[in-house]
Structure 1
């Protein structure tokens, strides 16, 4: 399927309902398939082949019996190597659908056979709940990697993009058609947009245009009954829930319809690095106050690292101010000179480029990189890692920062990114979408520790990041201590029964969604009352809450 190809034509809601009812009737009449003479892998494939309107090629179907191809597909977009260890449970089947009808059949067959279902669109899932199950076996992985068609409609100012397309592919196809249009979502260009937008999708233009989820105008998804729904068919409650309510909760996203935003033909990017010896602590303290208040066109994030991985070396902390300005260098210098002179930004620091050039720059590609690299769709890095997140509402004092640096020096590869809010993020009510971290938030912190030696020192690295997280508690949001659902963190809680209870789900649900969690539960109860779509941190139904408590 070529990336410029249009998504599969829309099916009518009532036709989809009729199809699912016919399929379910057929399945009931064919229960003899489950006899012991047919292993589950064979039974599932026969079910798919019989119940899909499009033929299902064997090349889209992978089982552990063919170790090489199965492992290759499972590992293809799995960024966190912690979840590829031999001790981690593996799916009994990986299915890579080639059409929307294949996805419908996969849902219906999974339900009929009593198989848990995991859905992967990109693989950046930090705790791998989209392709690993720690609570239910057997399970099937539906990998949407082949559903990546993108249709850019400049006259209408929209893009239809299938769930398996990456952010980089979407950016490339937009820039291919226009130099003055873009879309505000992820900084990392290998994110699969199916799951990315379900968590909100922030990026370097969020202070000007908000989140990716704020700029979605329609969607196509398969629900728990195997029906294909668009915005009109599903209603506004479910459409609301999909745009920030997290992946794997309500159905399988097939495609998003995105509203393009206007960008200048020329933008400016820069990176300025300050060490502790160059006054990094004082500059970072000032950044916390002014970054959310600067011109909406300016996004300055801070990447914080240690200067060396050698714990015995004379180390320092580096703070790199990595920025996009939707305008020219002269205007930018006027803004920073007045609002953030401590940074010491000069004309020579500024790089003029196109919007697509800024995408490559912020993603960390060398300046000579051609935009076509965005079509590769592969992640730059794969590591064993653990990540956590926080939202900050009052500036962290310099004494707090100095204590932070002491803990930093205890780890080989400590890493943080601080992303500024304000601008459009402060103007959107926190109930407008399930993503609640809006007005009053100064910035978001992502904490990461990474290592390459497998399980050898994993416990030490995990202990370190938890120590860092505990240290930061007095300086971040409280009641609840907020977290970003796209940086999923199983330390916050995990349902251990397959069907999570209210008590279990609230431990992470209130952190990810705040009061929006309660509305998400209502939507879940309505659209998926049997809780078919579930995982370690999924949103429960009211009925399951009552049974679980």
Structure 2
């Protein structure tokens, strides 16, 4: 099979998904006795070689192992007082208990793909924090049960490791994860998680059957012990809010022996504007076996499809619903499901499955910023004409359009914390650059914020929606002041600004769960859910 043409967009996204270099700043400016007591507690509670502090020779390389954005590779970035490379549940429990006892918050990291880096950095140098990294040992294990159509997966595993483990056991089961093989399972599922099978099988978190987690008391809980409210909250309520999820039991989904993919390019002068305008109506209403997304970059629209069936079926579906795209049999490539995962992750055919095991430990060379929107009604054609002009600007990035419909539209918005199921499609605005310096950052940040502002009249409103796994601190950050009464109420109200963008009406329920399971707000970051005031 010939290699399929893949745009620079996918090369770029994979580069941004790989690991970035990070130079740790000085330890947080918290009381020395507080930090010393915490570190002494870790030393007494954990085996040698698990805890890395600023005094450790390997601290920097361990911290860098899952950093994804050069924006946070600065000497001024507050860094953790310790990184715990947890390989067992007891290590996580000890870290949490030490943190609670000494007033040092703990943040968990699985793959490090948080777009704002909140799994490993803080905005406040005055507050000490530590990182529990779960990319090792039992917390990274994947155990596939073909007969039971399920898998237990550690939060520290990557999606690529999950796909590889499934394909090693059977060619007739899969999992509806994203195209990024280095994405960590923990963060992905915590935000809901969607990928190329979402129209057939919904969100990844819809397939979570059980989970184990450590709560703010250091207890190890499964679904039965945590209760259904907390189990609801962890399946889409965002990472770092309610505790540290260690592992997930996933329902695997059937996949056919043959799937079909295509990637076709249509330029602005090849009626791409009209195609985009129609795509908005067609893609969410196609049969659920068909997924048709678009990457819009420069003056080109790249249409990409995964079809859970044969070439003939995909060609017929396109001819019936979207003849203007003029998809032919020669555009389509038949393959197995795991080959389709490799195709979208690595830009072509013939890639060995072992590539899925690469966690992306090379040093990237890019900065990036992302924002997101949900579209409820098709945009007028003139909006796409305006968008082309934005894509000609100096500092332009790209847009990724992912259609919903199918199974997504059939599930109630309150079934899990993810509330955007009735949208036509999601937009991700992605800005990226390799030049260092404030001027370069301002140019590229200005582009992404400018095109985002341009789209405001045409996207969801009251609130304007956003996807929590495309975390965006432009939406607002928490007031991290301590105290109760009016302080707690003010903190909650401030958090609703960003919280309702991600969760809409589900935000209040998430805050109520937080008040029940972590009333002292131990697990917190700049966009963590606060307890609902009593």
TM-score between the two structures when normalised by the length of structure 2: 0.90
Residue 397 of structure 2 is aligned to residue 414 of structure 1 = yes
The residue that corresponds to 2:338 in the other structure is 356
Determine the structure 2 residue equivalent to 1:211. Answer: 203
> For 1:142-161, what aligned pairs fall within 5 Å after superposition?
142-146=132-136, 147-161=139-153
Quote the offset at 1:50 in angstroms: 3.4
Structure 2 counterpart SS, 1:324: strand
Q: How many angstroms apart in 2 are the aligned matches of 1:229 and 1:39? A: 28
Q: Counterparts in 2 of 1:389-404, with a 5 A limit?
A: 389-404=372-387
**Which of residues 31, 39, 47 is equivalent to 2:41?**
47
Distance 1:165 1:338 in 2: 41
Alignment partner of 1:139 is 2:133: no
The structural deviation recorded for 1:276 is: 0.4
State whether residues 81 and 383 of structure 1, in contact with CA within 8 Å, keep that contact through their aligned partners in structure 2: yes
Q: Does the Cα contact within 8 Å between 1:79 and 1:379 map onto a contact in 2?
A: no
Separation (CA, whole Å) in 2 of partners of 1:493 and 1:134: 13
Alignment partners' CA distance in 1, 2:180 and 2:425: 18
- The structure 2 residue matched to 1:85, chosen from 74, 81, 86, is 74
Q: In the alignment, is the contact (CA less than 8 A) between 2:159 and 2:180 conserved in 1?
A: yes
The separation in 2 between residues aligned to 1:80 and 1:215, in whole angstroms, is: 30
- Indicate the residue corresponding to 2:468 in structure 1: 485
Distance 1:515 1:180, change over 3 A: same
Within 2, Cα distance between the matches of 1:498 and 1:296?
47
Map 1:114-193; keep pairs closer than 5 Å.
114-135=103-124, 137-146=127-136, 147-193=139-185
- The one of 288, 291, 307 equivalent to 1:296 is 288
Residues 134-182 of structure 1, C-alpha deviation per residue, up to 9 Å, x if partnerless? Answer: 1352111111111210100011111000000000100110010010000
Counterpart of 1:458 in structure 2 is 441
1:341 to 323, 328, 331: 323
Please tell me whether the aligned partners of residues 430 and 438 of structure 1 are also in contact (alpha carbons under 8 angstroms). yes
Task: Report whether the alignment pairs 1:526 with 2:516.
Answer: yes
Question: Equivalents in 1 of 2:204, 2:323: separation in Å?
Answer: 31
Mapping of 1:54-93 within 5 angstroms? 56-58=47-49, 60-66=50-56, 69-93=58-82
1:374 is matched with: 356
Match in the other structure for 2:15: none
**2:396 and 2:133 mapped to 1: Cα distance?**
31
Check conservation: 1:394, 1:442, Cα contact below 8 A.
yes
Inter-partner Cα distance in structure 1 for 2:267 and 2:511: 46
Give the 5 Å matches for 1:488-499: 488-498=471-481
- Residue aligned with 2:464, SS: coil
2:343/2:351 contact within 8 Å kept: no
Q: Determine the structure 1 residue equivalent to 2:527.
A: 537
8 Å CA contact 2:277–2:378 kept in 1: the answer is yes
Look up the match of 2:11: none
Residue 263 of structure 2 corresponds to residue 271 of structure 1: yes
Q: 1:532 to 1:382 in 2, by over 3 A?
A: farther
Counterpart Cα distance in 2 of 1:413 and 1:35: 44
- For 1:359-412, what per-residue CA distance to the aligned partner results, in whole angstroms no more than 9, with x for missing partners? 111223431210101111227855211100000011111111111111221133
Distance (Å, rounded) in 2 between the aligned partners of 1:197 and 1:35: 35
Residue 336 of structure 1: SS of its match in structure 2?
A: helix
Residue of structure 2 in register with 1:320 after alignment: 302
Consecutive aligned runs of 4 or more in structure 1 exceeding 6 Å deviation: none
The Cα of 1:39 is off from its aligned counterpart by: 8.6
Tell whether the 8 Å contact from 2:370 to 2:431 is kept in structure 1 after alignment.
yes
1:10-68 superposed Cα distances (whole Å, 9 cap, x missing partner)? xxxxxxxxxxxxxxxxxxxxxxxx997x8935x444423433xxx5122x2222224x6
Cα pair 2:34 2:102 within 8 Å, conserved? no
TM-score (norm 1): 0.87
Match for residue 99 of structure 2?
A: 110
Deviates more, 1:161-170 or 1:406-415: 406-415
1:394-433 C-alpha deviation (Å, 9 max, x unpaired): 1111111111111221133411110000000000000000
Report the 3-state secondary structure (helix = DSSP H, G, I; strand = E; otherwise coil) of the residue aligned with 1:292. Answer: helix
Q: Secondary structure at the match of 1:175?
A: helix
Pairing 1:438–2:444 present? no
Aligned counterparts of 2:524 and 2:357: Cα–Cα separation in 1: 31
User: Retained in 2: the 8 A contact 1:293–1:422?
Assistant: yes
Distance 1:168 1:468 in 2: 32
Task: For 2:414 and 2:164, locate their aligned partners in 1 and report how far apart those are by CA, in whole Å.
Answer: 32
Q: Deviations over 1:184-233 (max 9, x none)?
A: 11121111001110100100000000000001100000000000100000
Query: Matched residues in 1 for 2:479 and 2:96: separation?
Result: 23
Match of 2:276 in 1: 284
Quick one: distance in 1 between partners of 2:361 and 2:333?
Answer: 25
Find the aligned partners of 2:82 and 2:471 in 1 and give their Cα distance. Answer: 24
Unaligned runs of 5+ in 2: 1-29, 483-487
The answer as to 2:217 corresponding to 1:228 is no
Q: Deviations over 1:425-458 (max 9, x none)?
A: 000000000000012x110000011011122411
